[in-house]
């Protein structure tokens, strides 16, 4: 049940997860055949906060590179080699080089520019949606979808008119288990730059049986790679003040630079990691407020509560539910004997509701202090975009709450079919000015 992506169409099975967590910190999960994919070897699911931290803090023993970081194994050795070129799927010391170059590229000046831009974008989105005395909107589509794209386009130096390409790409990658997203093609060539038009000539089409090529291979995303390549060339010729231009100019400890291939993979990672996560985190936070009208009122009365509230809404929703590692040696974890080569999957959705760490974990407490949630991971791969994600959440909800006196459901939300991202596809909301 916890493995089947279809389970999540009805929401996260928190009760079952809590039952498993109370029995053992680590449980074995069979990888049954689902959605037309064959059965897999199965995996250890790590449910408690302490054990999740213990796995993520030991990259030599629990590797991100050995089998990459998704539950399902890459289809072929070539596909595994391909995803290993991304920082997310590297181990120390290789990981440290790219991570250091990238961290250095988020200069104080670049970050403060991004923050200003995020606040402007949040204001413009809310100006568009919240007009008049009240109304209905789809919070997921009309409010939440655009902000991460606008912010990401600023980070990557992607011209704003091309930003819906990022939407389609991350839909294809993250939503490959969901028929609504797997062949996403919202962006039209006529709206974009010549770079976008050139890249779109390579956009794959669904085959006769509706299948798209595997988006976790280079062949599955030729349009993204073509675009990233053109963008890197353009930025090497005419650097801007965006993070990716700064990155391309960086020199590493051996005097080398980020190669175009490395840049392309970094672009892929950002396009996906920086978009889908927030596109689900923002409506997820909105659901937290719809379910807890008192929290809405408290935040309207005292906006200084916002930073703590954002972290609590993130904990309560937990947009990224799992990440995977592979054991490089036999070991013991939470009283279980793990064999070399076993898949070890950490559950953030479970660890963030571990009653040993969070009092009344199912309750949204916007004053929760401390709040050691694991929404952004832990250890060497801790999310590079955590600061930008929090800035976007704070900016958007500051605007939304300042313009509304109430937010209520206008219909049932619809959720993404995925065991990885806790996704919201539609969230009908009624608001009063
Ligand atoms: C609410 C929003 C977000 C959530 C929940 C989230 C979650 C995560 C998690 C759990 C990881 C750790 C992966 C692992 O341990 O294997 C991660 C890594 C990462 N995230 Fe985020 N993320 C968010 C937003 C962003 C944004 C906005 C960006 C970029 C602008 C971003 C870029 C990255 C990158 C590049 C990594 C890889 C870091 C590394 O391998 O060292 N994320 N994220």
pLDDT tens column, 63-78: 999 999 999 999 899 9
Q: Is the pLDDT of residue 315 over 80?
A: yes
Is 283 touching ligand 1 by the criterion CB < 6 Å?
no
Using most ligand atoms within 8 A of CB, pick from 64, 144, 277 the residue to mutate for ligand 1. 277
Give the closest residue to 259 by CA, choosing from 233, 279, 281.
233
Radius of gyration of the chain (CA): 21
At residue 133, the pLDDT reads 97
The arrangement of strands across the sheet holding 406-409 comes to 134-138, 428-432, 406-409
pLDDT in tens, 329-347: 999 999 999 999 999 999 9
3-state secondary structure of 320: strand
Is 385 touching ligand 1 by the criterion CB < 6 Å?
yes
Q: Is the pLDDT of residue 252 over 90?
A: no
For residues 219 and 208, give the distance between their C-alpha atoms in angstroms, rounded to a whole number. Answer: 18
Using most ligand atoms within 8 A of CB, pick from 273, 316, 379, 387 the residue to mutate for ligand 1. 273
At residue 100, the pLDDT reads 94
Of all residues in the chain, what percent carry a pLDDT higher than 90?
82
- pLDDT: which is higher, 190 or 353: 353
C-alpha distances (whole Å) from 119 to each of 33, 389, 392, 394 are 45, 12, 8, 9
Is 153 touching ligand 1 by the criterion CB < 6 Å?
no
Is 321 touching ligand 1 by the criterion CB < 6 Å?
no
Contact 313, 207 (CB under 8 A): no
CB atoms near residue 387 (< 10 Å): 14
State in Å: Cα 273 to ligand 1 middle. Answer: 6
Is 310 touching ligand 1 by the criterion CB < 6 Å?
no
Is 64 touching ligand 1 by the criterion CB < 6 Å?
yes
Average pLDDT, the chain: 94
At residue 104, the pLDDT reads 93
At residue 394, the pLDDT reads 98
State in Å: Cα 384 to ligand 1 middle. Answer: 6
The two tokens of residue 252 are 């590493």
- pLDDT: which is higher, 214 or 292: 292
Confidence of residue 377 (pLDDT cuts 50, 70, 90): very high
Confidence of residue 181 (pLDDT cuts 50, 70, 90): confident
Atom of ligand 1 nearest to the CA of 348: 10
Confidence of residue 311 (pLDDT cuts 50, 70, 90): very high
Is 247 touching ligand 1 by the criterion CB < 6 Å?
no
State in Å: Cα 294 to ligand 1 middle. Answer: 30
Q: Is the pLDDT of residue 24 over 90?
A: yes
At residue 395, the pLDDT reads 98
At residue 182, the pLDDT reads 79
At residue 183, the pLDDT reads 81
- Apex CA 180: angle with CA 215 and CA 264, to 5°? 25
For tokens 């967590």, the residue is: 21
Q: Is the pLDDT of residue 79 over 90?
A: no
Q: Is the pLDDT of residue 134 over 90?
A: yes
At residue 214, the pLDDT reads 83
Q: Is the pLDDT of residue 327 over 80?
A: yes
At residue 52, the pLDDT reads 98
The two tokens of residue 15 are 């009760």
For residues 121 and 123, give the distance between their C-alpha atoms in angstroms, rounded to a whole number. Answer: 5
Is 268 touching ligand 1 by the criterion CB < 6 Å?
no
At residue 64, the pLDDT reads 98
Atom of ligand 1 nearest to the CA of 269: 35
Q: What is the mean pLDDT of residues 256-281?
A: 89
- pLDDT: which is higher, 205 or 124: 124
Is 280 touching ligand 1 by the criterion CB < 6 Å?
no
Contact 430, 409 (CB under 8 A): yes
329 φψ region: left (φ > 0), alpha (ψ -120 to 50), beta (else): beta
Confidence of residue 320 (pLDDT cuts 50, 70, 90): very high
Q: Is the pLDDT of residue 180 over 90?
A: no
Confidence of residue 121 (pLDDT cuts 50, 70, 90): very high
C-alpha distances (whole Å) from 4 to each of 28, 103, 143, 323 are 14, 36, 29, 15
Is 69 touching ligand 1 by the criterion CB < 6 Å?
yes
State in Å: Cα 182 to ligand 1 middle. Answer: 21
Confidence of residue 399 (pLDDT cuts 50, 70, 90): very high
Atom of ligand 1 nearest to the CA of 388: 27
Whether the bond between 370 and the residue before it is cis, its omega within 30 degrees of 0, is: yes
Q: pTM of the entire structure? A: 0.95
At residue 110, the pLDDT reads 93
pLDDT in tens, 153-179: 999 999 999 999 998 998 888 777 787
Confidence of residue 103 (pLDDT cuts 50, 70, 90): very high
Give the closest residue to 59 by CA, choosing from 101, 22, 23, 87.
87
Atom of ligand 1 nearest to the CA of 378: 15
At residue 207, the pLDDT reads 81
Q: Is the pLDDT of residue 387 over 90?
A: yes
State in Å: Cα 91 to ligand 1 middle. Answer: 16
The two tokens of residue 133 are 């005395």
Is 52 touching ligand 1 by the criterion CB < 6 Å?
no
Give the closest residue to 321 by CA, choosing from 211, 415, 213.
415
Give the closest residue to 26 by CA, choosing from 53, 7, 44, 52.
44
Atom of ligand 1 nearest to the CA of 99: 41
State in Å: Cα 381 to ligand 1 middle. Answer: 8
Give the closest residue to 284 by CA, choosing from 184, 396, 168.
396
Is 319 touching ligand 1 by the criterion CB < 6 Å?
yes
């Amino acid at each position: 049940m916890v493995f089947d992506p279809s389970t999540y169409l009805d929401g996260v099975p928190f009760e079952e997860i809590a039952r498993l967590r109370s029995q053992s910190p680590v449980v074995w999960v069979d990888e049954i055949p689902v959605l037309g994919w064959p059965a897999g070897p199965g995996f250890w699911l790590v449910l408690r906060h302490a054990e999740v931290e213990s796995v993520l803090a030991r990259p030599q023993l629990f590797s991100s590179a050995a089998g990459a970081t998704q539950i399902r194994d890459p289809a072929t050795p070539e596909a595994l080699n391909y995803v290993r070129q991304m920082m997310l799927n590297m181990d120390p010391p290789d990981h440290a080089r790219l991570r250091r170059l990238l961290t250095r590229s988020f200069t104080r000046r670049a970050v403060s520019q991004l923050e200003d831009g995020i606040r402007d974008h949040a204001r413009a989105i809310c100006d568009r949606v919240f007009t008049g005395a009240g109304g209905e909107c789809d919070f997921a589509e009309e409010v939440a979808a655009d902000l991460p794209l606008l912010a990401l386009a600023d980070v990557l130096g992607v011209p704003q008119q091309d930003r819906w390409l990022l939407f389609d790409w991350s839909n294809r990658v993250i939503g490959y288990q969901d028929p609504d997203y797997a062949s996403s093609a919202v962006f039209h060539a006529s709206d974009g730059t010549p770079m976008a038009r050139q890249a779109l000539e390579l956009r794959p089409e669904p085959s006769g049986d509706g299948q798209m090529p595997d988006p976790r291979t280079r062949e599955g995303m030729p349009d993204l790679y073509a675009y990233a390549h053109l963008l890197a060339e353009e930025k090497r010729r005419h650097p801007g003040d965006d993070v990716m231009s700064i990155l391309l100019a960086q020199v590493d400890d051996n005097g080398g630079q980020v190669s175009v291939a490395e840049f392309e993979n970094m672009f892929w990672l950002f396009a996906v990691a920086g978009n889908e996560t927030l596109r689900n985190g923002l409506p997820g936070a909105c659901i937290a407020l719809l379910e807890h009208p008192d929290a809405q009122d408290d935040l309207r009365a005292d906006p200084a509560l916002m930073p703590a509230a954002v972290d609590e809404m993130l904990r309560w929703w937990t947009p990224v539910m799992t990440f995977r590692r592979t054991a490089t040696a036999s070991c013991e974890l939470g009283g279980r004997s793990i064999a070399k080569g076993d898949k070890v999957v950490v559950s953030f959705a479970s660890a963030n509701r571990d009653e040993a760490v969070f009092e009344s974990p199912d309750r949204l407490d916007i004053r929760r202090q401390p709040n050691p949630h694991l929404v952004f991971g832990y250890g060497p791969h801790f999310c590079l975009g955590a600061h930008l994600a929090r800035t976007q959440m704070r900016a958007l909800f500051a605007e939304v709450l300042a313009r509304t006196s109430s937010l209520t459901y206008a219909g049932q939300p619809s959720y993404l079919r995925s065991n990885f991202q806790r996704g919201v596809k539609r969230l009908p909301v009624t608001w009063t000015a």
